[in-house]
Structure 1
Amino acid sequence: MTPLIQAEQAVLGAVFLSPGQLDRLAPWLRPEHFYRPAHAATYAALLKLRADGHPAAQMQDTGPVPMSWLTDTVAEASKHTRGLTASYAHSLVSACPRPEHAAVYGRMVLEGAIHRSVAEHATRLHQAAHTDALRDGVEETVHHAHVLSNVLAELARRWGGKPRPVAPQASAAPPPVHPQPVNERLLADEEFLLGCLSARPQKLDDVVGWLHPGDFTDSGHQQIYRSLGALHHRGEPIDQLTVLWETQRRGALANGTLDTERVLRICDRNSLAGSAEYLGEQVVQASLVRTAAASARQVRALADDESLAPGRLIGYALHALGPLDDVRRRLRLANDAEPETGRPTNQSGAPPPAARIDAARSRSRLTNAIPVTTPPAASCPTVPDRAHRRSPA
């Protein structure tokens, strides 16, 4: 028998022995917090008898508890569950070490319920992300992410704290990484988007506010988009060669993430024109689904760790949902963009200020280069002079 089941038995036995304990438990402990259905039905019956004004519930522990308190509870609970007998109710009484510790036992029950609830909703989020990945949607994922955030906030308040994200300790082991199947259609969309942005660099103004490099599935695509963004930020020309040079400066060619032929192929100016805003939104949607699945696995791993206190579990889980919240925010920005320009309605769409471009370029200039000087004209004779001075054969 697990400690959680023993805690459920103890809290019910405490209420049988001391009905006044319900006044301390009823405001925050609910029947759905019990793991065993028989225990949930028994606690619900106790709450109903108390609400109906049962004489035992009014005694406030001033005398011996009448036997009707136990028998009436069993009779009421038996209407909603099967197999509950008076002998089992007596075993609950004997399972309670100290009736006056009922509130502590109730906190144990609530702690188990918090772990189960977080695990359940994390599993639902993961299933929704898997479904949306198959049908190229985000509706179910967004819905269950919102539900999980609300559940964590409600559990924090019920536990007596505030819903605040807390970064896990560095010593905490990260959850296992599960490789995801490669979506060839998504990879093709990413390449098409990068080709559009390379052919029409002005479109970067419309997507840089909500499309981030981490939204791309392929690491090589991430590096090309970073290079495009850097060139755009510095106000420098964008073409196949400048992008290739920027990826080289960032080490993407040296570490094997990209090769020259692939960069030139993706950044070909002869690529077919397309809607950068639409393709970018598709990339962000796929990123949201991927991030939701990863966050759900991390939250589920936290919920399965019984050593985590509820406050830490909730804080760590909210922290794990942080990347997902960021992608959700940026997807809303993409959806709110103007149809004609793709720019969010709260942005002016003006070109980058000259001061920013100059500062970005200054950070990119070579400061330790050897200066090249031009020798005086007299010391460098012209070709006709040399021919004139050639000695005769």
Structure 2
Amino acid sequence: MMSDATRTEADEDLLQYPAPQPVVHYAEQALLGALLLVPERLKTIGPLEPEHFANTAHSALFAAMRTVSPPAPEVHRSSPVWPNQLLYVAQPQARALTASYLHTLISVCPTDAHAPAYAQMVRSGHARRVLRRHAGLLAQAARAPGPDPAQTVLTRADQLAVYLDELATAFPSHPGSMPRTPAAPTAAVPPSTEVSDEERMLLAAATAHPEHLPRMRWLHESDLTTPMHAALFACLTSLARHGAPVDPIIVLWEAQQRGLLHDGFGPTEVLDTVSHPAGAPEHWGQKILQRALLRQALDVAARIEALSADEATTVHQLTTGSRRALAALSSVRSRWHQAVGDPSSRTRAAAPTTIRTAVRQPAARAGPAVRHPARPAR
């Protein structure tokens, strides 16, 4: 065991100063204190559920308030019947609840007349937590391998869009609705060997079959992760667009004309990259585009997590910023559906019961509706 003499100053500070509670914790306390003081305030606080509380004990206490009928006002003023009944019902779900803590809740409530304002704060805190949870699920879907990762990501994105629609209705706009939180920095992930190999296979296949490139407008050079590969793909698409002949030597010449050659990537490397084709360009292009879709989903999740971590943003600012972030995914998903001709793109996924127990058909969504163009002629 560490002796007192070996404890550092930082250890002492950690023991003496626990992490402060979030602001919404005090709003939950004030609301419950108001309802303990005046049970009739339950009728004035608007729609509120036990799961809206971040604190488990607070959630159990509010659930008990929804279950136990309060006594008559004159009885409540003269006897602690209401608090005792609440403790009896809530304590099996929250052992930390005590009569002393109920007195604390009452003492920290500035005024019971402000219960509706406290309830709105509790709803805002819950909305922030659920939005962050949606972002986490979107990021998890983008990282987790699976048989159809693109569809899993798009399903999560649709569920996030539905929730944003609900927030936009529940929390109306106000002046200064645009979020001021800086965008989360995009993590620079070096391409893996597998990714680089797929990009080289695309370039070689496109060099051997340039007639396919006009049908692959759904693939952009920004979808490739290696800068030199992206530049060579731009060379190929430019040649195909102008109807010029294409072979490895012509691609090398085009790369030279664009100033792409350097000591680390000279003629030998270019010829090696665009030669030895295997498979169709569309096959490799779809693989690359799917990776771009997953990367964009990770960027969206990181942006929403950064917004929700900023306590200074209102729920409407969170909604506005999250919709803008999600809109960046719409362009990539539209191109993905063009690439695969996915008929399921017409159907919008329902929200998962683990996040929302019920959803409404929204009037508007975070991004433009998915278009489903016909498969290009092969």
Q: Output the CA distance in 2 between the equivalents of 1:89 and 1:303.
A: 31
Structure 1 residues 167 and 158, CA gap change in structure 2 (3 angstroms): closer
| Selected match of 1:185 from 182, 186, 194 | 194
RMSD: 3.2
| Selected match of 2:312 from 307, 318, 324 | 307
Q: Is the 8 A contact 2:44 2:116 kept in 1?
A: yes
Q: Is the 8 A contact 1:161 1:311 kept in 2?
A: yes
Structure 1 residues 161 and 78, CA gap change in structure 2 (3 angstroms): farther
Structure 1 residues 348 and 130, CA gap change in structure 2 (3 angstroms): closer
- Which amino acid in 1 is paired with 2:58? H
Q: Output the CA distance in 2 between the equivalents of 1:19 and 1:152.
A: 33
Tell me how far 1:234 sits from its aligned partner. Answer: 2.8
* 1:76 pairs with 2:104: no
Q: Which residue of 2 aligns with 1:327?
A: 332
What residue ranges of structure 1 are gaps of 5+ in the alignment? 339-343, 351-393
Q: Is the 8 A contact 1:14 1:93 kept in 2?
A: yes
Greater relative CO, 1 or 2 (CA 8 Å, sep 6+): 2
| Selected match of 1:25 from 38, 45, 51 | 45
Q: Which residue of 2 aligns with 1:221?
A: 229
Structure 1 residues 320 and 253, CA gap change in structure 2 (3 angstroms): farther
Tell me how far 1:249 sits from its aligned partner. Answer: 5.0
Q: Which residue of 2 aligns with 1:10?
A: 30
- Which amino acid in 2 is paired with 1:182? P
| Selected match of 2:271 from 250, 258, 264 | 264
Tell me how far 1:279 sits from its aligned partner. Answer: 1.5
Q: Secondary structure at the match of 2:225?
A: coil
Q: Output the CA distance in 2 between the equivalents of 1:347 and 1:334.
A: 8
Q: What's the TM-score once normalised by structure 1's chain length?
A: 0.73
- Count of matched residue pairs: 328
Q: Is the 8 A contact 2:215 2:376 kept in 1?
A: no
Structure 1 residues 72 and 317, CA gap change in structure 2 (3 angstroms): same
Structure 1 residues 247 and 154, CA gap change in structure 2 (3 angstroms): farther
- Which amino acid in 2 is paired with 1:107? Q
Q: Which residue of 2 aligns with 1:104?
A: 117
* 1:154 pairs with 2:154: no
Q: Output the CA distance in 2 between the equivalents of 1:152 and 1:257.
A: 47
Q: Output the CA distance in 2 between the equivalents of 1:25 and 1:276.
A: 60
Structure 1 residues 243 and 21, CA gap change in structure 2 (3 angstroms): farther
Q: Is the 8 A contact 1:114 1:155 kept in 2?
A: yes
Tell me how far 1:34 sits from its aligned partner. Answer: 1.1
Structure 1 residues 141 and 65, CA gap change in structure 2 (3 angstroms): farther
Q: Is the 8 A contact 2:191 2:226 kept in 1?
A: no
Q: Output the CA distance in 2 between the equivalents of 1:335 and 1:32.
A: 40
Q: Output the CA distance in 2 between the equivalents of 1:282 and 1:174.
A: 28
Q: Mapping of 1:171-250 within 5 angstroms? A: 172-208=181-217, 210-248=218-256, 250=258
Q: Is the 8 A contact 1:119 1:299 kept in 2?
A: yes
Q: Which residue of 1 aligns with 2:12?
A: none
Q: Output the CA distance in 2 between the equivalents of 1:309 and 1:180.
A: 32
| Selected match of 1:138 from 144, 150, 154 | 150
Q: Secondary structure at the match of 2:196?
A: helix
Q: Secondary structure at the match of 2:246?
A: coil
Larger Rg: 1
Q: Output the CA distance in 1 between the equivalents of 2:317 and 2:339.
A: 34
Structure 1 residues 298 and 348, CA gap change in structure 2 (3 angstroms): closer
Q: Is the 8 A contact 1:132 1:141 kept in 2?
A: no
Q: Is the 8 A contact 2:178 2:317 kept in 1?
A: no
- Which amino acid in 2 is paired with 1:346? A
Q: Which residue of 2 aligns with 1:43?
A: 62
Structure 1 residues 257 and 113, CA gap change in structure 2 (3 angstroms): farther
Structure 1 residues 230 and 79, CA gap change in structure 2 (3 angstroms): same
Identity of aligned residues (%): 33
Q: Is the 8 A contact 1:159 1:311 kept in 2?
A: yes
- Which amino acid in 1 is paired with 2:31? V
Q: Is the 8 A contact 2:124 2:315 kept in 1?
A: yes
Structure 1 residues 129 and 91, CA gap change in structure 2 (3 angstroms): same
Q: Output the CA distance in 1 between the equivalents of 2:178 and 2:255.
A: 33
Q: Which residue of 2 aligns with 1:383?
A: none
Q: Secondary structure at the match of 2:95?
A: coil
Q: Is the 8 A contact 1:17 1:65 kept in 2?
A: no
Q: Is the 8 A contact 2:214 2:241 kept in 1?
A: no
Q: Deviations 1:97-131 (Å, cap 9, x if unpaired)?
A: 01111121122222222222222222232233222
What residue ranges of structure 2 are gaps of 5+ in the alignment? 1-19, 344-371
Q: Output the CA distance in 1 between the equivalents of 2:33 and 2:179.
A: 37
| Selected match of 1:121 from 134, 138, 147 | 134
Q: Output the CA distance in 1 between the equivalents of 2:249 and 2:342.
A: 31
- Which amino acid in 2 is paired with 1:263? V
- Which amino acid in 1 is paired with 2:282? E
Tell me how far 1:204 sits from its aligned partner. Answer: 0.9
